[in-house]
Chains A and B, each alone.
Chain A
Amino acid sequence: MPKMNMIQAINLALHEEMEKDETVLVMGQDVGVNGGVFRATEGLSVKFGKERAIDTPLAESGIIGSAIGMAIAGLKPVAEIQFSGFSYLTLGQLEGNAARMRTRSRGQFTCPLVMRMPYGGGVRALEHHSESKETYWAHTAGLKVVIPSSPRNARALLTAAIRDPDPVIFMEPKHSYRAFKEEVPEKKETMEIGKAEIVREGSDLTLVSWGAMFHLTKKVVDQIQSERKVSIELIDLLTISPMDSATINASVRKTGRCVIVQEAQKTLGPASEIIARINDEVLMYLEAPVKRVSGYDVVMPYFGREKMYLPTMERIRRAIEETLEF
């Protein structure tokens, strides 16, 4: 398989799963004829027809509400919300119905649907196009929240999300859509939802990140390791909920130091939960306070100031050095 970018990898997963399972369909605004505003659904309407690549009217709550009905009726809808900033209208349907349909019906009805949406900053976009609000979804029992970081894991995780028997919020870091290419195996591949990946093993410090921040973080680690002898364990969280604290805590037990890098605002972000779980289980192994590098608790600035409000390589570097030297 040639190298591909994240958009191509997502497109590949959709093609593969729609081919394999005729109950899988995509739906959303501009996903059919136009192939999606980012081209994630390119070619699907030609190959699978308009009934399985549905151009919907413009109504987010309607998209997810009808996806819930489809899922109840035995389909596997993969609904695209054009930008995560427009997804909050779906919160009523997701929190009020999708997340609790299994509980409410004692397992009689389930909602195996996926809501895909681009999120995150760094692409000079207009208001509502740059936020990282994974917490909204992760704070809802009954929803799984997945954030890939690369073409390969995007394809594998989206495949897993489509096959998952429960609702999955699949947040795609749009900054990484075309940022780089990666070898994606010819053979179909899935990854387990709810599992973090230790991308590089190390013994001195645990570094946890996800989404577009993962790459920035990795670059900093490469830089630091080329300058000095230090061994950093790099963890890509991949699933926000359910959170794989077993992998993180085992790592922290080994290293005694931890830094978390998140694009989301600071207060009540996923980093807060990671720290709480470290506190629950491995506090006594810590040799330094756990540090977080994050966004700020402000309305996401328009793109003129955006860069200052996203974690920078320098901020990540300072957090790592301060934690190592504590």
Chain B
Amino acid sequence: MPLKTIGKFSLSYLQVLDDKGKLDENLEPKLSNTELNKLYRAMYLARQLDSRMLKLQRQGRLGTIPVCTGQEACVCGATFALRDSDWFVGSYRELGGRLMRGEPLINPMIYYNGYEEGSFNPVNDRTLPINIILGSQLPHAVGAAYGSRLKGEKENASLVFFGDGSTSEGDFHEAINFAAVWKLPVVFFCQNNQWAISTPRANQTHSESIAQKAISYGIDGIQIDGNDVLAVYKATKDALDRGRAGEGPTLIEAVTYRMGVHTTADDPTRYRKNAEVEEWSKKDPIKRFENYLIEKKAWSARKQKTMEDEIKAEIEQTVKDFENMTDFKPDSPFDYLFETETDDIKALRAEFLNEIGKDADNA
């Protein structure tokens, strides 16, 4: 027969908690109450810090910031499935995940106040810094996983975050193809938040889903409810386990929503309807998780109050510490160009120091 079917494909969608937080017991991941509380706290902290930083930005105390509110289930749930020895490769909308990797609360404030001192993780050396060039971090996750495997760290995997917009970049396709060919333990985690600044998901790709792109590269793909932290955790954990077992990479499309602005330089009222935002606010990932925890008797109003007070105090103390920071070495950009300073750079540093010494502006 000259014409025959040579492939049939299917794709799954995973939701463990529905919009109200009602559980599908068959799918519930095995997590202790202590673990669940820890995950809930991470999401709550991310939300609070995001809101506090937005306030600081509106007061002119921070520069442009991307807003992460609404995507806490994605970043925290996925990061929760990771081991410290795994690679965390992010873009710029993973605040909660970065904090879970041990990044001090003050770092994002320093970073968004325009200083490199806040742009790295001093605690975990498998966490790559913020990457603004969209999609360019995906191949890094692939290379890091390859590096770990070649060095005999066979259990180590990579988790890489990106948005729906980045799936149009060549790097997205190249990275998945490499990881598939090399059968590497990489979890490609797409936070499909529906909007790439003003471009809606439907104009970004003609595919019905982003998850189905996995099929064309011969890897596992799944679409999940990105506002359901248990679905996020479960899908990521399963994908990591498969990767560690030598079964290759997975593409996860987490369907979520960018509740706020793209960055504080953006005005979404120009291109999207408020009704859409309101619709999504009913699916809030934190509220949904809280309902589940209360139902499970793993959380209480008393615990909530204690946590809120603690986090508020922690954030306010951080803001104070941040505002007291003044000591930024002017010539530190010269310190991190090369391991060994070249003669050229040595001379230029001297010229720089001489010039700013003379400038009254900078005194």
A residues near B, CB below 8 A? 29-30, 32-35, 37, 55, 57-62, 85-86, 89, 124-128, 266-267, 296-299, 301-309, 312, 314-315, 318
Contact = CB atoms under 8 A, between A and B. Distances in A.
17 contacts: A33-B271, A34-B270, A55-B199, A57-B205, A58-B196, A85-B133, A86-B133, A124-B63, A296-B348, A296-B351, A303-B63, A304-B328, A308-B352, A308-B362, A309-B352, A314-B361, A315-B359
B347 to A, nearest CB: 10
A88 B362 CA distance: 32
Contacts of A266: 348
Nearest to A298: B333
Nearest to B345: A297
Contacts of A299: 333, 336-337
B271 A59 contact: no
Given A57-B199, A302-B114, A307 B334 contact: no
Contacts of B265: 37
A29 B348 contact: no
Contact of B197 (A37, A85, A306): A37
Contacts of A314: 358-361
A85 B133 CA distance: 8
Given A126-B63, A305-B330, A58 B348 contact: no
Given A37-B265, A124-B63, A126-B132, 6 more contacts: A33-B270, A34-B270, A58-B169, A297-B348, A299-B337, A309-B333
Interface size classification for chain B: 35 or more
Contacts of A128: 132-133
B114 A318 contact: no
Contact of B169 (A55, A59, A315): A59
Contacts of A307: 361-362
Nearest to B263: A126
Interface residue SS majority, chain A: loop
B221 interface: no
B333 A301 contact: yes
Nearest to A86: B133
Contacts, number: 120
B158 interface: no
B54 to A, nearest CB: 15
Interface string B133-171: 110000000000000000000000000000001101110
B133 A58 contact: no
In the complex, which of the residues A55, A58, A61 has the most CB atoms of chain B within 10 Å of its own CB atom? A58
A57 B168 contact: yes
A42 B166 CA distance: 25
Contact of A30 (B134, B197, B333, B362): B197
A303 to B, nearest CB: 4
Contacts of A59: 168-170
B270 A35 contact: yes
Contacts of A302: 111, 114-116, 119
A210 B259 CA distance: 41
B268 to A, nearest CB: 9
Interface in B86-143: 111-116, 119, 130, 132-134
B352 A303 contact: no
A60 B135 CA distance: 11
Contact of A55 (B111, B133, B203, B359): B203
Contacts of A62: 168, 170
A23 to B, nearest CB: 24
B166 A303 contact: no
A59 B356 CA distance: 40
